[in-house]
Structures are given as structure tokens and as C-alpha cells.
Amino acid sequence: MTSELDIFVGNTTLIDEDVYRLWLDGYSVSDAVALRVRSGILEQTGATAAVLQSDTMDHYRTFHMLERLLHAPPKLLHQLIFQIPPSRQALLIERYYAFDEAFVREVLGKKLSKGTKKDLDDISTKTGITLKSCRRQFDNFKRVFKVVEEMRGSLVDNIQQHFLLSDRLARDYAAIVFFANNRFETGKKKLQYLSFGDFAYCAELMIQNWTLGAVGEAPTHPDSQVDDMDVDLDKEFLQDLKELKMLVADKDLLDLHKSLVCTALRGKLGVFSEMEANFKNLSRGLVNVAAKLTHNKDVRDLFVDLVEKFVEPCRSDHWPLSDVRLFLNQYSASVHSLDGFRHQALWDRYMGTLRGCLLRLYHD
């Protein structure tokens, strides 16, 4: 008795994007098969359940073997075992390092340690994301952090070079690394209305303006071990921010600043009377935030303080976003007309970033 067997030989590794998504989402083979059956694939292809089971298992084995290469993406490009076109390699890498908004909001600003990893069960339950997917995303964050945390140069460029991510995803990872390094508080109830995109926008502004990398040169002290130029806040800059305290401590300067802002905005601001009545409290809030950034705890509480000292008071007075923008523009610019103030460059470096963050944090 003879049997006929059709054999197809090829050297290109086939990647089914739908099965890859199920694998990344943490589904077991049996769950993935069930989901594929539910999608109607058996009717569409005429395949049997046994063939579908075998096909899914085969893809899962391939993805498992590829995973060690995905941990160091340049290795995927240079290996010869899997013949995968460049466009598919890019897709594999990008999707492997993609993350869920709900998950990143739970861990943003936390230490990427075993302690946080123990919380993944609770995060999985809360978000509905499988535990396996939570672990993959957390391990990706930790892996990228460990590789780039002490590198010189642009954080985004370093991430792109070592993980081959798109510009947008590399920028998101830069924000995650920056927040993890500086341990910014993001989990408080009053911050829950903010999205990862809101925090990532602020992180990009701070990286561009408040870090050692923003200064454009390495520390001059010969014993300095600070190599992570875009990851650490510029401590000298944070120390200098104490000089801004005179804007609210000197009564004459505070009164003149208020007068300049009110004169410029009279008739242009819908909430002018509220602004005029609350100007000194708002100014003290913004300046005191700056003066306290020499302490690690106050750095961590930056976003809590901004919401408490500025966003909530303006929101309670029903400021529209357009009025917030007008006020912040004039509030920042008027300092240049204060003859007794000699720290304009420091003020611009501080308020230029703070203004952008506040406008992003303010949801009217």
C-alpha cells in the first residue's frame, strides 16, 4: 500500500499577524484556537479543527524561538536561522514592544523592580490584560531602562539604536525611562484623569529643557559619574530655581508683576476678576513648586503639586483653556519687565516647560 504525500519546502518564515497578536496578548494555544474558530477562519479557509490547532501551535513555537532575539532586536536583523523580510522584522519588533495604555498608567513612575512585578497579578485583574502580557510589557520596560539608563546622548536616539523602535514608540519609552528614573508620582486619585500621553508630553518637555542633556555639555567635575545625560534632571538647575522665590517673597516685585499682567489682560480675559483676585495665590503656587525641586520627594510630587496649586484652583473658577493659555503667556512674559529681577534666563527655562505642561494638564 502506498501513500501520496505533498511536500512544500521553503526558507521564508511565515508570520501570521493575527496569531502573533494573540500570542502577544498572552493567550494559550487552546484559547487562541478558540478565538480563531470564533472569527470564522474554518469557514473561510475550509481547514479542519485539527489543522487549525497544528497551525497555531507551529506559530507559537516560532514566536517562542524568536522571543530571545526580540529581547535584543539587532540580533534579529543579523541572525541567519529565520529568513524574515525586513518589513516583517520591523513589524515583529514594533508589536513586541508595543504596550497597553491601561497597563503603562498603572506602572508609570514606579521603580521597575521585583516589588512592582509582584503587583502584576492585581494590575492584570484591574485592567483585564492577561498576566502573561503584563509580564512581557513590564519586562520590556525594565530591559530598555537597564540598557539606556547610563548612556550618554539622546535618550530617544539610544533607544532607537539598541531596540530599533519607531520614533513615536522610542519617544514613549523615553518617557517611561525618564519617569521610572525620577519616580514621578502618577497614581494619586487626583491624577487619574491624565493619560499616558499627557505625562509623555510633559516628559519630553522636561528632557529637552531640564536635564543635563538639555545643557548640551557633560558635567565639568572630573569625578562626576553622571553619564545618563537625558535621564537625570540637572541638579544645578534645580538648585538655582530657589532664586525665583524673590518673585513672591519681595512684595514690591509681586505687586508689580500682578499689575503688569492685569494691565495686559484687562478686557481680554473672560475670568479677569477671578484671575485678579487669585493672582498672588497662583503665582506663589507656581514659584514655590520651583523652589522646592531640590528635594527628591518634591520632585516626585511635581504633578500632584501642579494640579493642586494651579489646575484645581483655575478649574474651580471655571477658567476656559483659552484663558489659561493667555494668562500663562502673559504671566511668563511680564517677568522680563521687572527691573529688579535678574534671573530671566532661569525663569524662561523653568516656565517655558511648566507652561507647556500646565496647558497639557488642564482639561477644562
Cell digits for 199? 505625562
Shared domain for 122 and 176, answered yes or no, is yes
Is there a domain that residue 94 lies in?
no
How much is the pLDDT for 351? 97
Residue 14 CB partners (closer than 8 Å, separation 6+): none
Shared domain for 199 and 245, answered yes or no, is no
Instruction: Return the closest-CA partner of residue 136 out of 16, 14, 18, 20.
Output: 20
Is there a domain that residue 281 lies in?
yes
Shared domain for 139 and 195, answered yes or no, is yes
Instruction: Return the closest-CA partner of residue 138 out of 111, 175, 172, 170.
Output: 111
Grid-cell match 502573561, residue found: 132
Shared domain for 122 and 74, answered yes or no, is no
The DSSP letter of residue 15 is -
3-state secondary structure of 260: helix
Is there a domain that residue 227 lies in?
no
Shared domain for 261 and 156, answered yes or no, is no
Shared domain for 117 and 201, answered yes or no, is yes
Q: Is 221 exposed, middle or buried (0-12, 13-18, 19+ CB in 10 A)?
A: exposed
Is there a domain that residue 5 lies in?
no
Instruction: Return the closest-CA partner of residue 108 out of 25, 168, 177.
Output: 177
Cell digits for 89? 522584522
Is there a domain that residue 222 lies in?
no
Alpha-carbon span 186 to 195, nearest angstrom: 10
How much is the pLDDT for 215? 66
Rounded to 5 degrees, what are φ and ψ at 211? Answer: -100, 170
Range of the domain at 316: 235-361
Q: Are 159 and 173 in contact (CB under 8 A)?
A: yes
Shared domain for 72 and 112, answered yes or no, is no
3-state secondary structure of 138: helix
Give me the sign of the Cα torsion angle 230, 231, 232, 237.
Answer: positive
How much is the pLDDT for 345? 95
Is there a domain that residue 2 lies in?
no
Q: Is 146 exposed, middle or buried (0-12, 13-18, 19+ CB in 10 A)?
A: exposed
3-state secondary structure of 250: coil
Q: Are 237 and 349 in contact (CB under 8 A)?
A: yes
Shared domain for 77 and 154, answered yes or no, is no
Shared domain for 74 and 116, answered yes or no, is no
Is there a domain that residue 90 lies in?
no
Alpha-carbon span 46 to 65, nearest angstrom: 29
Name the CA radius of gyration of the chain, rounded. Answer: 26
Q: How far is CA 153 from CA 158, 175, 215, 231, in A?
A: 7, 15, 11, 10
Which 3-state string (H, E, C) describes 27-93?
CCHHHHHHHHHHCCHHHHHCCCHHHHHHHHHHHHHHHHHHHHHHCCHHHHHHCCCCECCHHHHHHHH
Q: Is 241 exposed, middle or buried (0-12, 13-18, 19+ CB in 10 A)?
A: buried
Shared domain for 357 and 242, answered yes or no, is yes
Confidence (pTM): 0.90
Alpha-carbon span 213 to 181, nearest angstrom: 15
Residue 75 CB partners (closer than 8 Å, separation 6+): 69
Which of 177, 210, 243 is the C-terminal boundary of a domain? 210
Is there a domain that residue 216 lies in?
no
Shared domain for 75 and 120, answered yes or no, is no
Give how many domains the chain has, as a whole number: 3
Which of 40, 55, 84 is the C-terminal boundary of a domain? 84
Which of 36, 59, 84 is the C-terminal boundary of a domain? 84
Per-residue pLDDT of the chain (364 residues; tens, 9 = 90+): 555 655 555 567 889 999 999 999 999 999 999 999 999 988 888 888 899 999 999 999 999 999 999 999 999 999 989 999 999 999 999 999 999 999 999 999 999 988 888 899 999 999 999 999 999 999 999 999 999 998 888 999 999 999 999 999 999 999 999 999 999 999 999 999 999 999 999 999 999 999 988 765 444 444 444 445 788 999 999 999 999 999 999 999 999 999 999 999 999 999 999 999 999 999 999 999 999 999 888 999 999 999 999 999 999 999 999 999 999 999 999 999 998 899 999 999 999 999 999 999 997 6
Rounded to 5 degrees, what are φ and ψ at 12? Answer: -95, 125
Shared domain for 241 and 356, answered yes or no, is yes
